Amino acid sequence: MGIWNSTLVYVGARTLLAGAMVALLLRRQVGAWYAGGQVVSDLACAAFLLAYVNPDIRDDVGALVIPLLLFVLYWEATRFLENRRVAAEREDQETTLDMAVHIYGSLWAFGFVVPAMLAGGFLVFNLLAPDQWPFPNPRPALTCAPKRVHAGTELTLRMQVPHGAELTVFTPKGRALTVVPFVPRRSQAPGSGFGWTAHFALGVDTVAGTASAGSQPERVFTDSGVYMLSVSSEAELSSLTCRVRYAGGS
């Protein structure tokens, strides 16, 4: 079972237990604020765990992880301390049910809350220092979406920066058309230029490339078939590639 499937099972079990806890809170008539706060905390923890193992969810959560993590820290710490205080102030002898609830609370905190907060902490670290933590299921250095395009659509390249400074498309007939020609980094301002572009959109109907230096630009997507897009390094010794299928008309 892969890390993604394992996390789904873990989050599913966590959600079921959290739902039972919220239902118990509602039966005890603790108030909408208390139950609502617990729901927000549980949903945030589930989002942290899923985002940790899925780059798309990680991007969707984005900077929202910061206020959510602060809320979870406040909420869970407050609930933990409050339960400790209530247990210490009890005058009657602790029953078996009270002991079971206490053990369950401890297992919940260390088995389901702490891992989620750690995942949220790594997400915050990733915001401050992108691509410096080895997340499972990392996003490829270059992705093309969608994988199947036709006339009138837009193709988006998603790249980890910095990357190569040249973009070339290889057509189904084996021709190489340069869409973004190589420009030495020393001739550009630091952190600028194609090599520092994380998202690059190409209009299928309008994107053009040149077969050689000085030749006239020509339309890239003309023949149906598989096109390979290559982002080359400055020395052109290595490249990042992705493939899309062009289906012609819409």
The whole domain housing 21 covers 3-128
Q: Is there a single domain that holds both residue 163 and residue 72? A: no
Point out the domain boundary residue: 106, 128, 150.
Answer: 128
Q: Is there a single domain that holds both residue 86 and residue 173? A: no
Residue whose token pair is 């603790």: 30
Confidence of residue 133 (pLDDT cuts 50, 70, 90): confident
Point out the domain boundary residue: 101, 128, 155.
Answer: 128
Give the chain's domain count: 2
pLDDT in tens, 75-100: 888 877 776 676 666 655 555 655 66
Give the highest mean pLDDT range of 132-141, 167-176, 236-245.
Answer: 167-176
Percent of the chain whose pLDDT exceeds 90: 33
- The reported pLDDT for the residue numbered 191 is 66
Query: At residue 219, does pLDDT exceed 90?
Result: yes
Confidence of residue 8 (pLDDT cuts 50, 70, 90): confident
Q: Is there a single domain that holds both residue 31 and residue 106? A: yes
Phi/psi at 159 (nearest 5 deg)? -130, 150
Other C-beta atoms closer than 10 Å to the C-beta of 162 total 16
Q: Is there a single domain that holds both residue 153 and residue 242? A: yes
Point out the domain boundary residue: 96, 128, 160.
Answer: 128
Torsion over CA of 28, 32, 38 and 43, rounded to 10 degrees?
130
Secondary structure element (H or E) that encloses residue 156, with its range: strand 154-159
Q: Is there a single domain that holds both residue 122 and residue 207? A: no
- The reported pLDDT for the residue numbered 78 is 85
Q: Flag whether 134 is in a domain.
A: no
State the pTM of this model. 0.66
Q: Is there a single domain that holds both residue 112 and residue 181? A: no
Count Cβ atoms within 10 A of the Cβ of residue 166 and give its class: 0-12 exposed, 13-18 middle, 19 or more buried.
buried
For position 157, which CATH number holds? 2.60.40
pLDDT in tens, 176-214: 999 998 877 666 677 678 888 888 999 999 999 998 878
